[in-house]
Homo-oligomer: A and B are copies of this chain.
């Protein structure tokens, strides 16, 4: 888990799922986990800092999974955004010192697939690479 996305590359909202407060946006992202840090990554993600989990929830992120393929080293994340003011929610995430500290730790275990990406905090270009949803059924 690291920076969730680049603010300039917000995927289009899905067309099939809505709630009373607005459309739910689904996101998929990938990054590479350095093979020598697999154990460390799993260890810290088995007990993510409470302040980070609180900020995720407060920023209207829900149903957030990260999967790992040991052969390719790829981490795959999927989550949903359920809020109505995406920019503001992400700004609070970026400004949270606990989240920034967490990102420093997790960035050090990862390699971005995005050319020129420097860190989660830098934001542009995004640290995690967005992937396109090609199928969805509720």
> Could you tell me which A residues sit within 8 Å of B by CB distance?
1, 26, 28, 30, 41-42, 45-46, 48, 53, 56-57, 61-72, 74-76, 78, 113, 129, 131-138
Contacts and interface: CB of A to CB of B under 8 A. Distances in A.
Please give the count of copies of this chain that the complex contains. 2
A129 B71 CA distance: 11
What's the dominant secondary structure at chain A's contact region?
A: strand
A41 B134 contact: yes
Given A63-B63, A65-B78, 7 more contacts: A28-B65, A30-B69, A30-B76, A42-B134, A64-B137, A68-B132, A69-B131
Contact of A135 (B65, B69, B137): B65
Nearest to A14: B65
- What 7 pairs between A and B have smallest CB-CB spacing? A28-B67, A66-B135, A45-B135, A67-B131, A69-B131, A78-B78, A76-B76
A45 B76 contact: no
Contacts of A30: 69, 72, 74, 76
In this complex, which of A48, A56, A62, A131 has the most chain B Cβ atoms within 10 angstroms of its Cβ? A131
A131 B57 contact: no
A4 to B, nearest CB: 12
